[in-house]
Copies of this chain bind each other. A is one copy, B any other.
């Protein structure tokens, strides 16, 4: 069968398809965004399950077989647009779950889709429901035009929790998931001007710390000076783990095995034109660490160095006014981003030991572990990615290591043993995970073009025997 590459008429038809599909894109995105599929909120379980059913119906609507597969946690939506037994197969990975969103902080309700001048706003529009709808429409176009490729779908619903159930799912369903490659669309460009192919990801080690020193709050007048204070003690443990001004982690052995970037990698990254000030503005960062002075500092801090981040700290009386208690309990949620060659299990052990040595009464729980990922940046899939990005967005893409973590990526590669490519569509200004998250039609339109071209190209890569 013919592929697009040799057929100018089909290429013109793609342009028309993309232009015409904006209303439908918005319609499907509305259906998904208006189901608050917040995976980490136990009270949203019904919404998560409803979202899975609705998404499976969307797959059926484009002619795919689809099912909602139970796991130990949230379900996985699995689908297949089959072309022919002898054709190669690709598996498109996206996720349907979203971060929490506090309506009080948002300009408009996070779980109602709103039109914006450039596209749409709402929780999940950029991460990852918008890219998911983009992949859905591109796959439909490819199938309708007879592309000789089997297109599988794997839509996860626990990505924002660190994908705890995907491992078990893959163990059980590996047979039904045989594929020649995986395409993940859940990454962010380094800037609006640079279409970005990600070939590296940081891992994540999430921990929950708590310290209880008493059964109940005490009076700081009658017992102050004598009774232990869990807020002070937990704060001190955290202060011993890291110098917050430089970001340097001070836990001995924490960065064992970390390799510096090669000169070639650094050169490639510098050619992207990244600047400290541009990065700062692009990500809406008011204050960058004073240790980040040159472009090289920025690149190293984002790609080659682990982090130690306190996401939440709570305990005692929050106000108004001052309640002069000695609180009985303090809690902190932290995570460390890990870089290639760090072993998350060994790091978890080291961090726990260090903390327990600092304060033996601490309770340290590991919440999530994601391995770091380092993919290929040459070969036929990398070439197809480079060409498709150029075609979709009419700019030269950059190959990049991203600072974030996608747990499913390393798990998919380990179980399916095929190349995993990451072609994302989100922009740094989209505010993924933040308030007023949004997604631009420009990214969806270029994304459909890019994905059709990519599917076209990999349909010509021979199946592995």
Contact = CB atoms under 8 A, between A and B. Distances in A.
A452 interface: no
B307 A330 contact: no
Interface in A417-463: 428, 431-435
- Counted per complex, copies of this chain come to 2
Given A221-B402, A283-B227, A298-B226, A311 B307 contact: no
Contacts of A57: none
Contacts of A244: 228-229, 232-233, 235-236
Interface stretch (A61-69, A109-117, A284-292): A284-292
Interface stretch (A6-14, A141-149, A256-264, A321-329): A321-329
A279 B320 CA distance: 31
A98 to B, nearest CB: 11
A253 interface: no
A220 interface: yes
A231 interface: yes
Contacts of A275: none
A314 B314 contact: yes
B433 A219 contact: yes
Interface in A14-44: 40-42
Interface stretch (A88-96, A175-183, A331-339): A331-339
A223 B312 contact: no
Nearest to A290: B228
A451 B325 CA distance: 30
Given A225-B403, A244-B233, A204 B41 contact: no
A289 B225 CA distance: 8
Interface stretch (A132-140, A165-173, A210-218): A210-218
A203 B177 CA distance: 70
Given A323-B40, A323-B100, A217 B287 contact: no
Contacts of A411: none
Interface string A373-384: 000000000000
Contact of A235 (B208, B224, B313, B403): B313
A344 interface: no
Contact of A208 (B232, B283, B307, B322): B322
A99 interface: yes
Task: Choose among A215, A321, A326 the residue with the greatest number of B CB atoms under 10 Å from its CB.
Answer: A321
Given A221-B402, A285-B218, A324 B309 contact: yes
A326 B335 CA distance: 10
A262 to B, nearest CB: 19
A84 interface: no
Given A215-B286, A302-B225, A433-B217, A368 B322 contact: yes
Contacts of A129: none
A219 B314 contact: no
A319 to B, nearest CB: 6
Contact of A286 (B161, B208, B214): B214
Interface of A: 40-42, 99-100, 161-162, 188, 202, 204, 206, 208, 213-229, 231-233, 235-236, 238-240, 242-245, 247, 279, 283-289, 292, 298, 301-302, 305, 307-328, 330-331, 333, 335, 337, 361, 367-368, 402-405, 428, 431-435
Given A204-B324, A214-B284, 18 more contacts: A42-B320, A216-B431, A216-B435, A217-B433, A217-B435, A220-B335, A224-B337, A231-B311, A231-B313, A232-B238, A232-B309, A235-B235, A235-B310, A236-B243, A236-B244, A311-B322, A322-B335, A322-B367
